[in-house]
Amino acid sequence: MTTATPVRAAKRPPAPPARPRSRRPGLRKKLELALLLGPALVLFIGFVLVPIGIAGFYSLFRWNGFGPLEDFVGFDNYADALAGDVFQGAIGHNLIIAGLSIVVQLPLSIGLALLLNRKLRGRAILRALVFAPYVLSEAITAVIWLLMLQPGGFADQLLESVGLGALVQQWLADPAVVLYTLFAVVTWKYVGFGIILLLAGLQGVPAELREAAALDGASAWQSTRHIVLPLLGPTIRIWIFLSVIGSLQLFDLVWIMTLGGPANASTTMATYLVDHGFKRYEFGFGSAVAVILFIICFAFALLYQRFALRRDTEGALTRMVG
């Protein structure tokens, strides 16, 4: 009778020595964040927050830009600005431009974007022509249109040549017309940006959805209304935000073409600020106007983010892994 010899267990290789744990696991991440965000944060503080604070400090004084700050007036500059008829009219002009931008420019941009999104001969050239005015600087645009809208200029001659001479106006000298003339120039200048932005949004609309709608019997208008426009919602909301903020800060075109005239009929908050702050050497009062303009833009940005853009940003942020 034989006895079974016990089987010896195979020897396992020795486990590698455990790596020593870092005492500061988040140090590297903090250094990366400081390296990447530090320069931008310094620039933001130096060129945004500090000037805002300085403007808020100057706004509490009646100061002409020379000598020390001695005449402390508190919030009198704010009260004088808000109570002034010219500044109230300037706020109204900015709101009119913003409202017209949404009512006129938005449908125009959507229609042209839908047209230029189709397969057309020379589509690339048409897109370039539409976007070309946006590339021009505000100063060049203002000078071109200032010359064209002079009495007897190109605009008047064009209307007379097509038999519409009765429509000739004092485009930049009539208080009842000048604001809408400036809006037409603003539309010509910035509508290309809206078209390009919407064209980028249309690239994200799947063609299969429109094809499926066409197979179900939907017309081109129905597929555009119920499929394309809802999917363009985030892009449209971003365009509205940029358009309103730009309308509230409108300055260059107005200042070069009309200086806010005639009789303050085209004054905006920005032109009012520059007129009082730099031309009349009322730097304390101008600083108060600048702070009011900042508060209006900042309040609109917060409210728009809260009630309009929140649906687009929810779920867009991802958690950092690592």
Rounded to whole angstroms, the Cα distance separating 14 from 169 reads 95
pLDDT given for residue 94 in this prediction:
97
Residue 321: the pLDDT is 37
pLDDT digits (tens, 9 = 90+) for 209-224: 888 888 888 888 888 8
CA distance 177 to 299: 30
Q: In degrees, to the nearest 5, what angle opens at C-alpha 144 toward C-alphas 142 and 147? A: 105
Looking at this protein, which amino acid is placed at residue 291? Answer: V
The predicted pLDDT at position 320 comes to: 42
Secondary structure letter of residue 14 according to DSSP: P
Contact 282, 276 (CB under 8 A): yes
Tokens for 203?
Answer: 């690239």
Q: How far is the C-alpha of 34 from the C-alpha of 185, rounded, in Å?
A: 45
Tell me the pLDDT tens digit for each residue of 84-107: 999 999 999 999 999 999 999 999
122-140, pLDDT tens digit by residue?
888 988 899 999 999 999 9
64 within a domain of the structure (yes/no):
no
- What pTM was computed for the model? 0.84
Is 28 a member of any domain? Answer: no
In a domain, 81, yes or no: no
User: What per-residue confidence (pLDDT) applies to 14?
Assistant: 60
The pLDDT assigned to 311 comes to 74
Q: Amino acid letter at 203?
A: Q
The mean-pLDDT minimum among 26-35, 52-61, 180-189 falls in 26-35
What is the DSSP secondary-structure string of 179-218?
HHHHHHHHHHHHHHHHHHHHHHHHTTS-HHHHHHHHHTT-
- Cβ atoms of 31 and 22 within 8 Å: the answer is no
Q: Is residue 289 in a domain? A: no
Q: Which amino acid, residue 215?
A: L
Longest distance between any two alpha carbons in the chain, whole Å: 129
Q: Which domain holds residue 195?
A: 97-267
pLDDT at 206: 84
pLDDT tens digits for range 251-274: 999 999 999 989 999 999 999 999
CATH code (residue 215) = 1.10.3720.10
pLDDT reading at 75 higher than 70 = yes
Quick one: which of 193, 42, 219, 46 has its CA closest to 105? 193
Mean of the pLDDT values across residues 174-198?
94
Q: Which amino acid is at 220?
A: A
Q: How many residues does the chain have?
A: 322
In total, how many domains does the chain have? 1
Q: Tell me, yes or no, whether 10 lies in a domain.
A: no
* 61 domain-assigned: no
Which residue reads 């500059």 in tokens? 77
